[in-house]
Structures are given as C-alpha cells and as structure tokens.
Amino acid sequence: MEATFDSLLLGFSVAFRPDVLFYAFLGCLVGTLVGVLPGIGPLAGISILLPATFGLDATKAIVMLAGIYYGSQYGGSTTSILMRIPGEASSVMTCIDGYAMAKRGRAGAALTIAAVGSFVAGTLGVVLLTAVAPPIAKFALGFGPPEYTALLVLGLIFLAYMSSTGLPRTLLMAAVGLLLGCIGIDVMTGHFRYSFDIKELGDGIGIVPVAVGLFGLGEILSTPSKMVTEKVVPPRLIELLPTRSEWRQSAMPIARGSLLGFVVGIVPGSAHIIASFLSYAVEKRVSRTPEEFGKGAVAGVAGPESANNSASTGAFVPMLALGLPTGPVTAVLMAALLIHGVPPGPMLVNEHPQVFWGFIASMYVGNLMLLALNLPLVGVFVTVLRIPYAYLYPLIIMFCIIGVYEVNHSIVDVWIMLIMGIVGYLLRKFDFDPAPLVLGLVIAPIFELSLRQSLIMSNGNWLIFLERPIAQALLAVCLLLIGLALLSLRLKRRDWRAKLAEAEAGEGAEPG
Amino acid sequence: MQVRRDHVAGGAFVIAGVLVLAASTDLPFGTLASPGAGMLPTLVVVLMLALAASLLLDAGASPPIADIDWSDVMHALRVTVVTGAAVAVYTVLGFIASIALLLFALTFLLERKPLLHAAAFSIGATLLAYLLFATLLNAPLPRGFWQ
C-alpha cells in the first residue's frame, strides 16, 4: 500500500507539470466537445486527433487521448438532457429522465447532478484503478503465450456475450477484424499476406483508418442534415443548483452507479453503454417510486451518468494491467501507446512508471477539470450545437482526412478510411455492430503470435491450453459464456441485451 | 420465398469468405508444431463461413430486406462521391485546393447553401485548418504540384 502511495506521488509529480496539465485540459475540453456533438463519438474523436500527438511524448499523448475519452462521457449528458439526443451511445439512458426533467424546468439541476455524479464516479473509478491495476499486472507477469491466447479468446467471447447484436453477429465482426489484422507481412515467416502488390499494405491495415472510417465517416454517411435538429435553450447559471431534495435523491444512485460501472467497465464489451443501462434498471428496481422513471426521476439521471463514467475508468484496468483492450476506444488508446514505443501490459508499471502513474494521477486532475469545465461553461458548449449540421459534417470529414493521412502520410490509408466508411454504413443497415471488428483488428497480431508460440512450445499439441491452470480456467469461462448465449438463443429469451439493443436504437424502450 | 436481411448479409459474408480462401491458396498452412503464415487466416475464414452459414440458417427470423430504411442512401452516395474525388486529388492538388473544393462541393452543391456563404466557409475553414496543422502543430500537409 505504501509503495502504491509513493508511486502515486511520483504520478502526481508528472501530472502537475504545466505541460502535462495543459494536455490534460486540452483532452478534457476536446472530449467534452466530442461528447456534446451528436454523430462524433469518443472513438472517432480520439482516432482523428491521434496524429496530433505524434510530436508529444507518450505520457502527454495518453493523458490527452484519455482525457478525450472520459471527457466525452461528461459532455454526452448535455445533449441528452437539453435536446433528447444522446451525444454519444452511453448517454441514451440519460435522455429519458434528463429530458423529462428539462421539460419540467429542471434542466440546470439535471446537468449539475449529471456532472457531479460523473465527477464522483470518475474519481472513485480512478481510486479503484489505482488499487486494482498494479496487483493484476503483477499476477499477469506469470502469463505465457497459452495464457495470453486464452485471455484474448475470453475477451472476444465476453464481448460477443455482452453485445446487444447477438453472439454470431459479434463473432462474425470480430472474425472480419482478425482477418483484416492478418493483412501484411507475417512477422514470423516474412510472407506477404493479401497485399495484392500494394506496397503500403505490407505493413498491414492501420487501426486509425479503420476506426475513423467505421465510426466517423460511417456515422456521417447515415446522417443526412435534414435529420439533425439545432433547437436548444441553455439553462441560466442560477438554474444550475439542484434543490436539497434532488441532492438527497441522487446520492445513493451516484454511489451505486459508480461501483456498478467500475465492475462492468473491466469486462470486455461496450462497457460504458451497458453500465448506464444496467444502472438505470437497478435504480428503477430499488426505487420506492418506480412510476417516476420516464417522467423526470433524479435517480434516472444520477445512476446512469455515474455508471458510464466509472465504466470508462474501469476499462483502463485490463488495458494497463494486461495489455488487453476491452473495447474499440481502449484498443485505439493501446495503439497510441504502441506508436509511442510504450507497450501496455504487465511490464508497463515497472518499465514505464512515469507513464503509468502519471496517467493515473492525471485522471484525478482531469476529473476536477471536467467538473469545472462542464457546469459554468455549459452555455458555451451548447453554442457549438448551434453550428448547422450542414457546415459541421464537412468539417468532420476534413478532420478525418487530415487525421488519417498524417499517421503515415499515405493516401492509401485515406482510401481505406473511405472504404471503411461505406462498410460502416452498410453494417449499420444490416444491424451489425462495427466495434468488435476494430477489436479483432487490434488483437490480431498479439493473438496470432501467442497462438503460434504456444503451438511451437508444445510441439503442436493443442492440449497445452488445457494443461496450464490459468489458461484452463479462462477457457472454462469461455465455454460457460458460449453455453449461456446458446441457451438464451434457444429460449429466444428477450433478456437485458435485447432491451439494450432497443434502447440504443432509440426506440424508447425502458428497462424493466 | 421472401428475401430477408440476414439472407443478404449471410450470403455476402459467405462470398467474401470463399474469395479470401481462394486468395489464401499461396499461403503455407504449416504444421501444428510449426504453424505457417496461412494458419490463422484459414482458421478465421472457416469460423467466418460457419458464422455466416448460421446467419443464413436463422435468416427467417430477420426482417424482410424491403423493411430496411434506405432514405439516407442518396446522401451517403453523394458524400462518398465528393469525398472520393477529394481524396483522388489530395496529393496532386495539395491540401488547400483539394479540401477547399471538398468543403465547397459539400456545402454548396449538396447542402444548397448560398454561394457566398459556402465559398467563405470553405476558404476560411481550410486556411484555419492549414494554420492549425501545418503551422502550429508542424504536421506536414501535402502541397501537391505547387511544391
């Protein structure tokens, strides 16, 4: 414990450097804007701005990019409450009661409760991250290739199980991602795979063009400007204070949402989305006045907003401690660390303590910055929403092109982005979630390497995965999850994932 | 038989899987003790084909293909064509000319904004972006044949 405290002090000495503070602030500011703007989520925001971090060192880069991620969770609530448009997917549940509160003239109170809930949850999440990540990393130091293979399989199966689009569709997307990840030179044998004499494909397909195409351009293609409304009235500063009763009603939902969100955040999948949905369901279940939900219940704002923030922090645990991305956002953040020559995983704490602890300490500071940014400046952020979408989306396309081109100065990457934009548009039409595709692409090289190393180690004996206790346990969990998913398919049960799909599709379904 | 969403999706993935398998014939599979460059792609394609087949088998439960809302397809097509054209000339004309043309085409031709507004927006936004990336962030943007 004392060692953790000393390390955290080291982290704060890094986080309080003026240059690191500046990039944390920049990340939080951009993240809030990304969260506020419908149609551009944290993934697209991080991907587009990734090349802008190339001139920075690893600490500043990850501090800024992570700031965008958790900042977007704060910003997402603004449009949900004021316009009933989720700025990003994890704010879907906030739309229901947040907008109902706004209609009753309590928009300011809803925004404050969302911001304070996000702050408490974000800070608690970082405290838990500080306590949990180092011991997990220490434990993972004993992992060999078979354990890593099993862990990555578990990650994919977990993602498929948690997905709202169903097991076969999610695994299909992950398989496409794994295949895309096989493009380029095979590092073990030097063979060119699927490069079709295009020399730029020799290095493989980058994560940035794929992520920006699927999530940035794909979203723009499926959003004509006539479908975007720009009417919004920001609350006055004086209206931001909740009443004593509203504070009382929000205290326990914030506490529950924070804990629930962190636990869900560790699990692979779109954790921040699932966490907000589960929190809403829990709050409705434990409430003495469940009939208030949907009509402006304070707990319906406080719980989900806390949960999605805490989950976004929880998602950093497997990324930092195991080198395992649990979703597309952490996958891109992991790619950012790799680009800066800092491989995330169990060795990170020992080999790059300044990056690890500096990053964690910056999150404490970042949460404070976000609280200070989000309340007094809500009017400023809402002004951004007044930019007509007809002018906004051409700007986003411009940033997509700049962002993707600047990674490798390769026009082939920009073409890949455009193709992925079309693919993303079509995937949405056919009800596929593109997130597992990005995850498959990111883990493909690690997965292939650990699988092949395991087989070479065992002289071709597949049983190596069943002979080592940790791998055995991880694969047993995989089997259990597949069994549960198949059972659910067989019974055609309309479980919480089906309800989540409805909520994400904006059909107004309420969790039961 | 009514064509449903997952008939089309599953069929497309089956065709894609077969094409990838055909393109994988020159990759050595190796042995279990010494896996080759083709082992993982082959295993993943087989998994993909199995999953696509399961989609096809269960396609009856998916909505009819005609139920998919394609009202945004013209917008998507136009934006794709304009963006594709800009990408095609990006390194030839350079950042300023190609991006200004892209923004102008999107706002004036697609969104029907007034000519002067669209022109001012396109030139202003392009120059600001150039200033931000090329000057402040030192990111080298393509200059095309002006170089």
Per the prediction, chain B carries an average pLDDT of 91
Instruction: Give chain A's domain count.
Output: 1
Distance of residue B109 Cα from the nearest chain A Cα, in angstroms:
11
| pLDDT over 70 percentage in chain B | 97
Q: How confident is the model at residue B132 (pLDDT cuts 50, 70, 90)?
A: confident
pLDDT for A384 equals 72
Does A438 reside within a domain? no
* For residue A304, pLDDT beyond 80: yes
CB neighbourhood size of A458 (10 A): 18
Among A28-32, A439-443, A449-453, the minimum mean pLDDT is found in: A439-443
Whole-angstrom Cα distance, residue A21 to residue A32? 16
Nearest-CB residue to B45 (from A169, A179, A224): A179
Closest alpha carbon to A165 in A433, A428, A423, A492: A433
Does A507 reside within a domain? no
A232 residue type, one letter? V
Q: What is the pLDDT averaged over residues A441-456?
A: 89
Which of A238-242, A318-322, A453-457 shows the highest mean pLDDT? A453-457
Among A383-397, A479-493, B17-31, the minimum mean pLDDT is found in: A479-493
C-alpha to C-alpha distances, A431 to A37, A414, B62, B63, B136, nearest whole angstrom: 23, 25, 10, 11, 41
Does A29 reside within a domain? yes
pLDDT for A507 equals 39
Q: What is the pLDDT of residues A347-370, one digit of tens each?
A: 888 888 888 888 888 888 888 888
Tokens of A451: 């699988």
User: Within an 8 Å CB–CB cutoff, is residue A483 touching chain B?
Assistant: no
Does A211 reside within a domain? yes
Closest alpha carbon to A468 in A135, A140, A150: A150
Among A69-83, A163-177, A252-266, the minimum mean pLDDT is found in: A69-83
Tokens of B34: 């010494």
Whole-angstrom Cα distance, residue A71 to residue B73? 33
Q: What is the pLDDT of residues A15-58, one digit of tens each?
A: 889 998 999 999 998 888 888 776 667 877 787 777 778 778 88
| pLDDT over 70 percentage in chain A | 88
What are the domain boundaries of chain B?
5-67, 73-146
Distance of residue A146 Cα from the nearest chain B Cα, in angstroms:
14
Does A498 reside within a domain? no
Does A281 reside within a domain? yes
Q: Are A287 and A253 in contact (CB under 8 A)?
A: no
Torsion sign (Cα): A140, A458, A467, A159: positive
Which ipTM did the prediction report? 0.95
User: Within an 8 Å CB–CB cutoff, is residue A493 touching chain B?
Assistant: no
Q: Are A269 and A319 in contact (CB under 8 A)?
A: no
* For residue B64, pLDDT beyond 50: yes
Partner-chain contact A429 B70, CB within 8 Å = yes
Distance of residue A382 Cα from the nearest chain B Cα, in angstroms:
21
Q: Are A326 and A313 in contact (CB under 8 A)?
A: no
Nearest-CB residue to A418 (from B84, B137, B138): B84
Residue with tokens 């992925």: A420
* For residue B107, pLDDT beyond 70: yes
Instruction: Give the distance, in angstroms, between the CA of residue A231 and the centroid of all CA atoms in the same chain.
Output: 28
* For residue A508, pLDDT beyond 50: no
Q: Are A211 and A333 in contact (CB under 8 A)?
A: no
pLDDT for A511 equals 34
Does A455 reside within a domain? no
Q: What is the pLDDT averaged over residues A453-462?
A: 91
**Mutate: best of B83, B127, B128, partner A, most A CBs <10 A:** B83
Q: Which domain holds residue A261?
A: 2-142+207-431
Among A75-89, A121-135, A283-297, the minimum mean pLDDT is found in: A75-89
Q: What is the pLDDT averaged over residues A104-120?
A: 86
Does A481 reside within a domain? no
Q: What is the pLDDT of residues A189-219, one digit of tens each?
A: 888 898 888 888 888 898 888 888 887 788 8
